[in-house]
Structure 1
Amino acid sequence: MASVRVGLSGWQYAHWHGSFYPDGTRRADELSYAAARFGSLELNGTFYGLQRPSSFLRWRDQVPPGFTFAVKGSRYVTHLKRLRDPGTALANFVASGLLALGDRLGPVLWQLPERTSFDAEVLAPFLELLPRTTAAAGRLAAAHDDRLRAEAWTDPGEDRPLRHALEARHASFEDPAALQLLRDHDVALVVSDGAGRWPMLDHQTADLAYVRLHGPTELYASRYDDARLDRWAGWVRRRHDAGQDVVVYFDNDGHAHAPRDALRLLERLGDVADPWPP
């Protein structure tokens, strides 16, 4: 049965205290507080640099059973190497501790730069390398280089499917060839609302629908009003009814809009969203 999860793009924001987090909430308790209210969160620190297995284990232990993290792929792969020759970088990324999340590991998000256009000769080999199961991820992680020789994590644990989503921000990804390539690899094309700064690419390319809401009128800062949330709730329901699993993450963290908007969307999806807490 298809699932629906609504959550946040990160959770460590000092200005959320007093509006989302109760005054006096310790930084160490922010994750458990957010995870008690949402079924999924994005791990964004993984985009900026390699983490440690101990960090993934700590995050795993702070969330309840059934919760999942979406893990943002390394910008070294997407922004510096621009998806070219990503083998060792991918291995290092996975070996940094993703598999330590166990059954809390959800989809992996690959965000491309705004100016990156579709190039089949670059995208196809990258998609081929992405592991589709945790067992395959463990084999890939074993190819890590000496940067992780002391703290690599390659144990896949119980073998489970591993999904991927691509957040492209260039209109060229509406090329039918790009969409077909993503469908061939069952990779979700992220529906990304960026306040009009980049095109919103709304195409079904996988059995997963992945949405990132960065703000409707001002990037990372504006709130979603009732009419917009009603429209997004309808969109989620249509995808769910078509048999897709749906994840929605709010990234309009300014003024603590993200958690409030996410809770308001959950209210509209109460009969289809995964019940939380369980």
Structure 2
Amino acid sequence: MTCVGTVRVGISGWRYPPWRGAFYPPGLPQRRELEHASRLLSSIELNGSFYALQRPESYAGWARETPAGFVFSVKGPRFVTHLKKLAGVDVALANFFASGLLALGPKLGPVLWQLPPNLGFDAARLDAFLALLPRTHGEAAALGAGHDEKVEGRALTTTATPDLPLRHALEVRHASFGDAAADGRLLDVLTRHGVALVTADTAGKWPWLAHLTSPDLAYARLHGDAELYVSGYDDAALDRWAERVREWAATGRDVFVYFDNDVKVRAPDDARALAARLGVAWPPPEGP
């Protein structure tokens, strides 16, 4: 029998003022928005970690507010991807993994590394960066122990789940990655490290890449079908995505799909519509 992976469909972030009174019921306190979203969707990308190092108490709070079985993806810091451009990032990675994401415990899903549009493909640079990434919660804790003063006094470098795997996904935006995928260079690096290549729907702005490079993970980000961050997905588009996700899951890979077309409050509705097509609608049968 073909092994079928777990499918999760969610949203990228959850704090968007235009969603209040639309996706979020009128009068819902902002502090309860994550609680509400996590009862309707099985996963959310944490975006705040991209902009600044978060704190252990924040991650622990997000874990408490979400139901059993819910999973977060965590976005790696732009200091690593956009400012340092993956080079000389040993301490920066230690600070990130010490900043508290291990407080999510079993709710910690893949770590997303989104590269900037001005960073081209460099096999050696990418290979060296991927080799630094921890593959278990225990390895992440050990790496975090090398943090510097930026997280001194607020670091979390222990974990109750040391043996849980920690998976990674890479989203690319420079055209040279498309060329490197076509001739196999990019796929070779990612496959050797077991890192998933993100399939990003960007209304044609950045490369479309739908290659499976991780043995157990497929990852997609849907930024807009026709207009970046704005347009929604009609029935035909959602049907096509549902078929693609079924094909990925049929390989035994876990599949994470996130909608990032948040400008017109389309992301949560599109996510729920895709989940329904796939038969993975939320919530779970039991509470937190």
Q: Same fold (TM over 0.5)?
A: yes
1:39-78 to structure 2, matched below 5 A, reads 39-78=42-81
2: CA distance, partners of 1:268 / 1:231:
10
Which residue of structure 1 aligns with residue 6 of structure 2? 3
Equivalent residues of 1:208, 1:246 under 8 A apart? yes
1:1-278 to structure 2, matched below 5 A, reads 1-159=4-162, 160-173=164-177, 174=181, 175-206=183-214, 207-270=216-279, 273=280, 276-278=283-285
Equivalent residues of 2:41, 2:281 under 8 A apart? no
- One-letter amino acid of the structure 1 residue matched with residue 58 of structure 2: S
Equivalent residues of 1:3, 1:274 under 8 A apart? no
More displaced 10-residue stretch of structure 1: 166-175 or 237-246: 166-175
Equivalent residues of 2:41, 2:282 under 8 A apart? no
| CA positional deviation for 1:170 | 2.4
RMSD: 1.1
2: CA distance, partners of 1:246 / 1:104:
15
Deviations 1:18-56 (A, max 9, x none): 221110111010001000011110000000011111111
TM, length-normalised to structure 1? 0.97
2: CA distance, partners of 1:261 / 1:93:
31
SS at match of 1:88: helix
- One-letter amino acid of the structure 1 residue matched with residue 230 of structure 2: A
2: CA distance, partners of 1:5 / 1:136:
25
- One-letter amino acid of the structure 2 residue matched with residue 164 of structure 1: H
2: CA distance, partners of 1:228 / 1:182:
28
2: CA distance, partners of 1:156 / 1:52:
15
Equivalent residues of 2:220, 2:257 under 8 A apart? yes
Q: How many residues are matched?
A: 276
Deviations 1:173-214 (A, max 9, x none): 214121111001110000001111111111010120100000
SS at match of 2:82: helix
Q: After TM superposition, where is structure 1 displaced by more than 3 Å over at least 4 residues in a row?
A: none
Question: Percent same amino acid at aligned positions?
Answer: 56
SS at match of 1:203: coil
| CA positional deviation for 1:275 | 5.2
- One-letter amino acid of the structure 2 residue matched with residue 27 of structure 1: Q
Deviations 1:196-250 (A, max 9, x none): 1111111010120100000011111111111100000000001111111100000
